[in-house]
Structure 1
Amino acid sequence: MKNWKKTLAAVLAAAMLAGCASAGESESTSSSSQTPPSSSAASESQSVQEGYQVDPEYDGTDTPVDFSELSAQDLDGTPVDASVFADYKLTVINVWATYCSPCLQEMPDLGEIAQEYAEKGVQVIGIVGDVLNSDGTISDSQMEKAAQIVTETGADYLHIPMDLDLYRSDLASSLYAFPTTYFVDSEGKPVGNALVGMIPSKEAWQAYIDAHLDAVEQAG
């Protein structure tokens, strides 16, 4: 299973760089949904003091990504580094693509959550995964499309295009479906495991975020 995921990750990464991943393929791999953690699972996770443990039944096959060395730019070209995490206990990093319908469907919920959870020390960041040209440069037309989607979906939070540096990082090598969501702490270090696929509702998002926030606070 693990080798299959690595192979699929390599195939998707190549397709992303070539700009040839089809919408149909994306939707078929991205439409799986996650089941939010139960209260009993959250309770069990709180009893684990070593590091960040959110789901005690997680088998470790979806590798979290360390963003502590982040160096990128946002959609406006403003530099972004790991200091963007410093003022928040937890950051939700949602990797999406402009052609991915499940990605777009969950973005309005994330826009609301970004506003509602700010006072709790939680922020949301989006990473746009399909803006690279085949030569490794950023596509202006894709950047415009991404900005338009952000406006239309109300996903009014920081978005970062996946440039060549991010493409060559652990992020791209671990990514095999859109959307995929990662959780990191105030240093950009991973919290819990990645969530692959569309989260089905705002309530489910809240359950996941609450569980990861509890893990951070418990470990602290």
Structure 2
Amino acid sequence: MTIRGNPPADFLRRPGKIFDKCRYLWSALLLTLLLISPVQPQSDSTAAQNDDPQMFAAVFVKPGLPEVGIDLESFPYFDRDSSAYAPIYGGDIFPSVYLIFPGKAIAGKRMWFMVSHEEANTFGISTIPVEADTTGMMIASKEVHAGETGQLTLKLELRYIPTHRLLLYRWPNASPEHPGGIPSTEGMKEPMPIGGLMPELWVTDLKGDTLWLNRFPGKIVVVNWWAMFCSPCIEEMPGLNKLVEKYRDKGVEFIAIARNTAEELQDFFTSHRFLYRQTLANEQAAQLMGNVFPRHVIIDQEGRIAFNQSGGSQDKAQELEAVIVRLLEGR
């Protein structure tokens, strides 16, 4: 889900200072928790807490909500009086990252939120399920999306000690010399890079017909990856419908892949209008498109990816139209 706003000031450019101040404190606290905890059979969560503490960076959790250029209190789960947050160093990939602790359970479950400033005027908000181990430490991990198309994933590991309001975190390349690590996509390959050929991918429409997205020679294929629970997906539908009406007779195919069942879609379309040809997601589509909704992909007349971007807004149709026009004009 993508939300537009003004980027916050980047105050975490030097995470070493934060770590130096907290290093001895959180190491001592973590060691104390391990020493006073009763002996338990080794479980996944217990094993996780026994990770080398020198690999994690530490920050204190603050009351309230971060200032990120958008009104976070407009979201139903965020309340400045009962929420808390902690900054996480995101390097050049994520200029600002915050972990938000809402003041109440979400649908009866313990849940955290991550707010990341990903690029100019663009923010991502995502949820993180949380578990508690036998010591009371709260443990979670998050697959964070990065790269030109947002399809590379970096695992962020999180530990929270509620009694001391201390958050520990680490990226994949953390080390004792660089606790917490720095997000990096070096050596990783995008699954659908701009300019690359569209991978073999088939989906089934609501009539049971099979469509191969990479087999529309001479046509432009506009793909929308969406789900019913995604509010930006629904908000952008009126603009997308106008695109369909304007270009469907000009050599452009519009195909939507929904992460829902046929029955759910039939119910949905009794009150919503979406003119893309509707198809159902399968595991191959899910692996290729990822877990971020919506995602827009445009395949050119030669089967190459001309556009691949996650995030939706009411203005997304204008961005897609610019690419369609360029391809139709042979530019």
The alignment's TM-score, normalised by the length of structure 1, stands at: 0.56
Please tell me the residue identity of whatever aligns with 1:156: L
Matched, 1:143 2:262: yes
* Maintained 8 Å contact 1:64/1:190: no
- 1:37-186 alignment to 2 at 5 Å? 60-62=148-150, 63=190, 65=192, 66-82=197-213, 85-86=216-217, 88=219, 90-129=220-259, 131=260, 142-168=261-287, 171-172=288-289, 175-186=290-301
* Maintained 8 Å contact 1:75/1:147: no
SS at match of 1:152: coil
SS at match of 1:148: helix
SS at match of 1:183: strand
In 2, the alpha carbon distance for the partners of 1:33 and 1:84 equals 35
2:318 aligned residue (198, 206, 217): 206
How big is the shift at 1:152? 3.1
* Maintained 8 Å contact 1:191/1:216: no
How big is the shift at 1:208? 3.1
* Maintained 8 Å contact 1:33/1:200: no
Please tell me the residue identity of whatever aligns with 2:251: G
**Which structure 2 residue ranges, 5 or more long, are not aligned?**
1-89, 95-108, 123-146, 151-189
* Maintained 8 Å contact 1:75/1:159: yes
* Maintained 8 Å contact 1:68/1:188: no
Matched, 1:196 2:315: no
* Maintained 8 Å contact 1:86/1:186: yes
Higher relative contact order (CA 8 A, sep 6+): 1
Larger radius of gyration: 2
Please tell me the residue identity of whatever aligns with 1:198: G
In 1, the alpha carbon distance for the partners of 2:281 and 2:301 equals 21
In 1, the alpha carbon distance for the partners of 2:234 and 2:225 equals 11
Which deviations, in whole Å up to 9, do the C-alpha atoms of 1:38-80 show, x marking residues without a partner? xxxxxxxxxxxxxxxxxxxxx8353473535222211221111
* Maintained 8 Å contact 2:149/2:310: no
How big is the shift at 1:111? 1.9
Identity of counterpart residues, as a percentage? 25
Please tell me the residue identity of whatever aligns with 1:163: N
SS at match of 1:186: coil
CA distance 1:166–1:195, shift in 2 (3 Å): closer
How big is the shift at 1:188? 3.5
* Maintained 8 Å contact 1:182/1:190: yes
How big is the shift at 1:162? 1.1
The alignment's TM-score, normalised by the length of structure 2, stands at: 0.39
In 2, the alpha carbon distance for the partners of 1:205 and 1:181 equals 10
**Which structure 1 residue ranges, 5 or more long, are not aligned?**
6-21, 36-58, 132-141
How big is the shift at 1:114? 0.6
Q: Which runs of 4+ in 1 moved over 4 A?
A: 32-35
Please tell me the residue identity of whatever aligns with 1:205: A
How big is the shift at 1:155? 1.0
CA distance 1:33–1:77, shift in 2 (3 Å): farther
How big is the shift at 1:187? 4.3
Structure with higher helix content? 1
**What is the number of residues matched between the two proteins?**
157
In 1, the alpha carbon distance for the partners of 2:326 and 2:271 equals 32
* Maintained 8 Å contact 2:243/2:321: no
